[in-house]
Amino acid sequence: MSSLPTSLYFTNAAGLVQEYADYVRLQYHPGPRRFDEFTAVLHHVTRALTRYGLGKLLIDQRQMTPYLPAERVHVVEHWLPRTIVEGPYRYGAVVQAHDVFARLAMDTIRTQAQDLPLTYRFFSDEVAAIGWLQAQ
């Protein structure tokens, strides 16, 4: 499987969305995010997943700051349900944040979304995350 992106799909101050042959990659940028920039990145992740029906997302959170409460609510109540249906998002490989509070915020999202038809795996290494994602 290809390790080079087929395209840069979208970027803004919150993050970067890239399409690969068999998955979509979301990389969060460091620093604070505006809510509109955060939701725009997620919207484009949904569009990229939908475009090819890939259903697989690599989420690079290494430089991410913790999710804000409004961001957590948006992910769990709006973005995940929509993206599972439209994406169809099924597998998420998360390269964990260096910031312990960002990891805890992601764990809260995972717990709140545990009833959704979605499988997450967490990794400290991007190569291992890609290998798992491609095996799905």
Task: Check which CATH number belongs to the domain holding 130 and give it.
Answer: 3.30.750.24
Say if strands 56-60 and 91-95 run parallel, antiparallel, or are unpaired: parallel
C-beta of residue 124 within 8 angstroms of C-beta of residue 93? no
Residue 89 has pLDDT above 70, yes or no: yes
**2 domain-assigned:** no
**91 domain-assigned:** yes
How many domains does the chain fold into?
1
pLDDT tens, residue by residue, 109-124: 989 988 999 999 999 9
Residue 16 has pLDDT above 70, yes or no: yes
**26 domain-assigned:** yes
Q: What angle do CA 84, 97, 1 make, to 5 degrees?
A: 60
Which residues span the domain enclosing 82? 7-135
**114 domain-assigned:** yes
Structure tokens at 108: 């809260």
